Amino acid sequence: MILNIGTIVAAAPIAVGLAILPAPGWSDDKDSRLATGIQDNLCLVEEAYNQEAGVVQHINCLQRQEGDWFYNFTQEWPLGSQTNQFSYTLPYAWLRSEGQLEEGLGDIMLNYRRQVLYEGRNTPAFAPRLSLILPTGDEETGLGSGSLGYEVLLPVSKIVSNRITLHANVGMTSYFDVQGHQPTSYLLGGAFIYALTRDFNLMVESLGAWEESVADAGFVQRETSFTVSPGARYAVNLSAGQVVLAAGAPIQMMDGSEPDYGVFLYLSFEHRFK
């Protein structure tokens, strides 16, 4: 695999995080740093913080890219404690690029995530995820894969100063049988978060993807893309829970194509259920 500039930029937050991993001293019991005000609300990159015991999160994501619209609804539930978490993702798409006029439900994902490492003074948060992909989308219209699949993601998160948090992702997605093939894709992502206040953050997210798919003619095709997305998020803390609004401007670059400028909108509601 040849590394391009997109790969280097996507990996940069990982390298920075390793370089400055030991954070200044702070109390695990009462953390007053600005970076702790909003922690688990990213658009493109996944953070490594499971839901706390008794807290459920409802996540809405809407993205426009290359003339297509994609909506995901995810609900995250702790399984007794923060150590284990179950979630599911319901995708819906409106495909309008390349003369398409299709819309409908995509492939549903069932997710299990384990909090292997809790963040501490010198320890990052680490919460690997394993997902089962169900072939609920229509393969004929491009809304689904037509095969069972799985995804493995390794997210790492670390607050490195009063205002700065770094996130890194490494992942793989594979389908068992798509026209006799097993297409497998890889991703590498990173995010830099700067807390202007406890309730308002600036964000830069980056994502490199090496994707395999099966063409109508039955052969495996490969595509490389890199996305960088500047954005911001704002939290509203209510007695009922926390609402987070976020927006990003993803710029996607693909082999042999001009950059595509998209938009990402995010809405989350987190509250106690007992």
Rounded CA gap, 219 and 259, in Å? 26
Q: Which two tokens stand for residue 238?
A: 């209510």
pLDDT classification of 257: cutoffs 50, 70, 90: confident
Shortest CA distance to 220 belongs to which of 262, 264, 180?
180
pLDDT classification of 274: cutoffs 50, 70, 90: confident
- Say whether pLDDT at 32 is over 70: yes
pLDDT classification of 119: cutoffs 50, 70, 90: very high
Report, as an integer, the average pLDDT of 118-136: 96
Sign of CA dihedral 192, 48, 3, 212: negative
Amino acid code (one letter) for 171: G
- Say whether pLDDT at 150 is over 70: yes
Cα Dmax for the chain: 59
Which pLDDT score, from 0 to 100, does residue 12 have?
Answer: 46
Q: Which two tokens stand for residue 242?
A: 């926390």
- Say whether pLDDT at 21 is over 60: no
Which pLDDT score, from 0 to 100, does residue 31 have?
Answer: 82
Q: pLDDT above 90 covers what percent of the chain?
A: 78
Q: pLDDT digits over 36-86, tens only?
A: 999 989 989 999 999 999 999 999 999 999 999 999 999 999 999 999 999
* Helix, strand, or coil (residue 27): coil
* pTM (predicted TM-score): 0.86
Which pLDDT score, from 0 to 100, does residue 25 have?
Answer: 33
Place of tokens 């052969």: 219
Q: What are phi and psi of 198, to 5 degrees?
A: -65, -25
Q: What are phi and psi of 16, to 5 degrees?
A: -65, -40
How many Cβ atoms are within 10 Å of 234's Cβ, its own excluded? Answer: 16
pLDDT classification of 216: cutoffs 50, 70, 90: confident
Rounded CA gap, 187 and 170, in Å? 6
DSSP E strands, the chain: 55-65, 68-79, 81-95, 102-105, 109-114, 125-126, 129-133, 149-159, 164-175, 184-197, 200-214, 220-237, 242-248, 251-254, 260-261, 263-272
Which pLDDT score, from 0 to 100, does residue 240 have?
Answer: 94
pLDDT classification of 29: cutoffs 50, 70, 90: very low
Report, as an integer, the average pLDDT of 143-162: 96
- Say whether pLDDT at 13 is over 50: no
Place of tokens 């009063």: 162
Shortest CA distance to 155 belongs to which of 174, 169, 171?
169
Which pLDDT score, from 0 to 100, does residue 217 have?
Answer: 80
Report, as an integer, the average pLDDT of 156-181: 96
Shortest CA distance to 40 belongs to which of 170, 226, 230, 235?
235
How many Cβ atoms are within 10 Å of 15's Cβ, its own excluded? Answer: 13
Shortest CA distance to 187 belongs to which of 157, 152, 217?
152
Q: In the predicted model, what is the mean pLDDT of the chain?
A: 89
Report, as an integer, the average pLDDT of 165-189: 96
